C-alpha cells in the first residue's frame, strides 16, 4: 500500500482567519482527492492547524503570513541574513507570492503571502509539494522551442498554467498539468491540464512558465509564455555554490513570472466560476439553517433523542 503524504496549513496572519483557512483546507483536500489523485495516483491528507507548534512532525507545513517580521528570525537561522533579506524584500514588493523551501531540517516547507490570490497560491504550493516534495525532480522531454534538443524539466505541475483557476467548494484553486503534458506526440482526446486550458504537450499559457536543466551545460533555464528565447536562471557555477533546491532557486529568481490579481483568470471550462463563492455561501447557509432547526427540534423533546418515524405505507398495521 502506498504511503500517505500529510500537508499542514498554518496561518500566521489575521488576514486569513481560521474560518477561511478551514474552508481552504477542505477545498484543497477535495481537489487532491477528486481531481489530482486520479492523474498522479498519490494519497494525501490536508489539515489546518492553529500554529506551527501543533503540526505533527511528519506533516509538510505550508505557512501563510502577511507581516514579514513573523518569519525573519526563523528564516535567518535557516538560510542566513543575506538571503532572508532578499526574500523578505521580494515578498514586501509583491514580486513573490509563494516559495517552496526545504532548508528547514531538509524537509519540505512552503511560504505563501496573504495576497488577494492566496487560495490559488496555496493550492499551487500544496500540489507541487506533493508531486515533488524536495524540489529537484526532473522529467526528460523535448526542448520547448527546438524539438531536436532534449532537456530535463523541473516537475512544477502548476507553473505553465499558474494563472488559471477553477472553484472547489467555491474556493479558487490552481489548475495543474497532467502526466501526459510531456508526451512526444499529440494523441486524440487527452487532457494535458485538469481544466483543459492546456491543449497540447509543453504548452505555456499566458502568465505561466517552464523551467529546465539543459544537459549540454547543466544550467537552469526558463521560458515564459510567448517568449522567443529562454532565459538563464542559474549557470553551473551558481548551482554549485547553492545548496537550495532547484524549485527554490526558480521561485526566488527575479525573472520568474508572478501570479497577481490582474493576471489570474478563471478556466473557460469552469461553470459559473465567478459566482461560485456566493453560490456556495448561500447553499451553506441554507444547510446550516436546516441543521440548526433539526438540533432545536431535538432539544424541544426535553433533551431526549427522537426516533425517526418511517412514513406509513398503504395497508400497514396501525397497531404498535
pLDDT of residue 317: 47
User: At what angle are helices 118-131 and 18-30 packed, to 10 degrees?
Assistant: 50
- The DSSP string of 93-143 is TTS-SEEEE--STTS-EEEEE-STTHHHHHHHHHHHHHH-TTS--EEEEE-
pLDDT digits (tens, 9 = 90+) for 219-244: 999 999 999 999 999 999 999 998 88
Per-residue pLDDT of the chain (320 residues; tens, 9 = 90+): 678 899 999 998 889 999 999 999 999 999 999 999 999 999 999 999 998 889 998 999 998 988 666 666 556 655 567 767 776 776 666 555 666 666 556 678 888 988 889 999 999 999 999 999 989 999 999 999 999 999 999 999 999 999 999 999 999 999 999 999 999 988 777 899 999 999 999 999 999 999 999 999 999 999 999 999 999 999 999 999 988 889 989 988 889 998 888 899 999 988 766 677 677 777 877 887 888 878 877 777 655 554 555 555 444 444 44
Sheet holding 164-168, edge to edge: 171-174, 164-168, 265-266
pLDDT of residue 316: 47
Largest Cα separation within the chain, whole Å, is 89
The three grid cell numbers given for residue 12, joined into one nine-digit string: 500566521
User: Could you give the CA distance from residue 263 to residue 208 in angstroms, rounded to a whole number?
Assistant: 10
Are the C-beta atoms of residues 288 and 178 closer than 8 Å to each other?
no
pLDDT digits (tens, 9 = 90+) for 139-187: 999 999 999 999 999 999 999 999 999 999 999 999 999 999 999 988 7
272: phi then psi, degrees, rounded to nearest 5: 45, 45
User: Could you give the CA distance from residue 56 to residue 130 in angstroms, rounded to a whole number?
Assistant: 17
pLDDT of residue 319: 44
Neighbours of 99 (CB within 10 A): 21
10-45 residues labelled b (16+ CB within 10 A) or e (exposed): bbbbebbeeebbebbbbbbbbbbeebbeebbeeebe
pLDDT of residue 76: 63
pLDDT of residue 169: 94
The three grid cell numbers given for residue 175, joined into one nine-digit string: 489548475
Amino acid at each position: 500500500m502506498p504511503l500517505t503524504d500529510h500537508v499542514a496549513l498554518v496561518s500566521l496572519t489575521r488576514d486569513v482567519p481560521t474560518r477561511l483557512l478551514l474552508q481552504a483546507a477542505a477545498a484543497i483536500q477535495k481537489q487532491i482527492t477528486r481531481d489530482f489523485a486520479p492523474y498522479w495516483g498519490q494519497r494525501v491528507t490536508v489539515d489546518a492547524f492553529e500554529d506551527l507548534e501543533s503540526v505533527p512532525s511528519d506533516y509538510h507545513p505550508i505557512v501563510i503570513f502577511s507581516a514579514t517580521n513573523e518569519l525573519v528570525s526563523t528564516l535567518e537561522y535557516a538560510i542566513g541574513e543575506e538571503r532572508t533579506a532578499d526574500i523578505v524584500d521580494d515578498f514586501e514588493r509583491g514580486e513573490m507570492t509563494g516559495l517552496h523551501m526545504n532548508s528547514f531540517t531538509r524537509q519540505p516547507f512552503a511560504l505563501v503571502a496573504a495576497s488577494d490570490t492566496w487560495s490559488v497560491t496555496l493550492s499551487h504550493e500544496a500540489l507541487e509539494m506533493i508531486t515533488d516534495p524536495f524540489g529537484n525532480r526532473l522529467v526528460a522531454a523535448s526542448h520547448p522551442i527546438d524539438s531536436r534538443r532534449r532537456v530535463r524539466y523541473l516537475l512544477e505541475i502548476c507553473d505553465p498554467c499558474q494563472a488559471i483557476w477553477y472553484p472547489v467548494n467555491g474556493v479558487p484553486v490552481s489548475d495543474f498539468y497532467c502526466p501526459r503534458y510531456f508526451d512526444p506526440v499529440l494523441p486524440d482526446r487527452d487532457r494535458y491540464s485538469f481544466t483543459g486550458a492546456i491543449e497540447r504537450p509543453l504548452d505555456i499559457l499566458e502568465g505561466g512558465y517552464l523551467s529546465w536543466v539543459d544537459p549540454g551545460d547543466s544550467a537552469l533555464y526558463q521560458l515564459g509564455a510567448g517568449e522567443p528565447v529562454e532565459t538563464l536562471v542559474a549557470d553551473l557555477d551558481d548551482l554549485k555554490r547553492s545548496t537550495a533546491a532547484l524549485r527554490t532557486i526558480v521561485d526566488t529568481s527575479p525573472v520568474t513570472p508572478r501570479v497577481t490579481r490582474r493576471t489570474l483568470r478563471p478556466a473557460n471550462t469552469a461553470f459559473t466560476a465567478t459566482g461560485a463563492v456566493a453560490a456556495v455561501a448561500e447553499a451553506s447557509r441554507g444547510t446550516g439553517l436546516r441543521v440548526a432547526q433539526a438540533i432545536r427540534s431535538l432539544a424541544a423533546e426535553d433533551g431526549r433523542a427522537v426516533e425517526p418515524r418511517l412514513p406509513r405505507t398503504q395497508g400497514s398495521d396501525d397497531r404498535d
